[in-house]
Amino acid sequence: MKQKVGLVVGVLFVLAWCLLPVAWIISLSFKTQESVTVGNPGFFPAEGTNAGLDNYRSVLDNGQFLDAIRNSIGISLIATFLSVVIATLAAYAIARLEFQGKKFVLTMALVIAMFPVVSLVGPLFDMWRAIGIYDTWPGLIIPYMSFTLPLAIWTLSAFFREIPWEMEQAAQVDGATSWQAFRRVIVPLAAPGVFTAAILTFFFAWNDFVFGISLTSTEAARPIPAALSFFVGADPFNRPASLLAAAAVVATIPIVVIVLIFQRKIVAGLTSGAVKG
């Protein structure tokens, strides 16, 4: 009985700890700037929710924010697709082939994944301006792929190692080529890992702020996190907190929807390759 009570208390504490900031920002998004300024303690503004809905109308009518949504969707999807394709091929080679320096490749991939992002912003800024891809989609897609590929390779290589080698050999005995066996047998069996790598890559690209603010200068490629920093009101010393909160809620909705729809596959992908056998 004590264990059940402790478990319930622990779960409630974790939920409150995680969901309180979410509830706070949702409450803030429904308040007017005047309510925020005077410190309205209620969850909804004293003027009612209709007044708070004006924040969402203002955000969705903002052309810069709509451009940022388009940029984030396009950049994140392209970076995810390219990263998953390259990581799938690389992870398969690492898991199935024996070649000199394989451990070194995995070690370097892990080192790259742990490398601090801030230290690369300056060199990338100069390089991208020199070769002409500053403030463009490729200028963000390349760094996103560079930092998500190592994690995707590590995740997928664990799945490929667990797939019995005999299944691929059986497909080749039945007349399939190496590419057909890989595409029709190996990849479907590693689908949870591929899906996990895609989700992690998409989340990284969608939530990135450092590259988005440093490698863009206009709305041509600026993603949502960077665009939020340019939300200013009439007074530069009094930021429109309610508008920022509404924009943050809108930007978070796609992530929440993806997690709710694919939560089982995400959990399966994160845990399937963890235990061997």
The DSSP-derived string for 17-53 is HHHHHHHHHHHHHTS-HHHHHHT--SSS-TT-HHHHH
Q: For position 270, what pLDDT does the model report?
A: 60
One-letter amino acid at 270 equals L
d(CA 83, CA 223): 19
Indicate the DSSP class of residue 238.
S
Question: From the CB of residue 53, how many other CB atoms can be counted at a distance below 10 Å?
Answer: 13
d(CA 19, CA 104): 41
Q: For position 130, what pLDDT does the model report?
A: 93
Q: What number is the average pLDDT over the span 222-243?
A: 78
Say yes or no to pLDDT of 63 above 50.
Answer: yes
Say yes or no to pLDDT of 142 above 50.
Answer: yes
Q: Which residue has the higher pLDDT, 68 or 18?
A: 68
pLDDT band at 133 (very low <50, low <70, confident <90, very high): very high
252 burial (CB, 10 Å; 0-12 / 13-18 / 19+) is: middle
Q: Which of 90-94, 136-140, 243-247 has the highest mean pLDDT?
A: 136-140
Say yes or no to pLDDT of 146 above 60.
Answer: yes
Taking only the tens place, the pLDDT of each residue in 234-249 is: 566 667 788 888 888 8
Say yes or no to pLDDT of 65 above 60.
Answer: yes
Q: For position 134, what pLDDT does the model report?
A: 94
Q: How many CA atoms lie within 13 A of 35 on its CB side?
A: 21
62-272, which class in CATH?
Answer: mainly alpha
Say yes or no to pLDDT of 275 above 50.
Answer: no
Q: Which residue has the higher pLDDT, 268 or 152?
A: 152
Residue ranges of the alpha helices (H) in the chain?
Answer: 2-29, 33-38, 49-60, 63-96, 102-114, 118-131, 137-162, 165-173, 178-181, 187-189, 191-207, 210-214, 224-228, 241-272
Whether the full predicted model's pTM is greater than 0.95, yes or no, is: no
pLDDT band at 165 (very low <50, low <70, confident <90, very high): confident
Q: What number is the average pLDDT over the span 218-230?
A: 89
Domain ranges of the chain: 1-57, 62-272
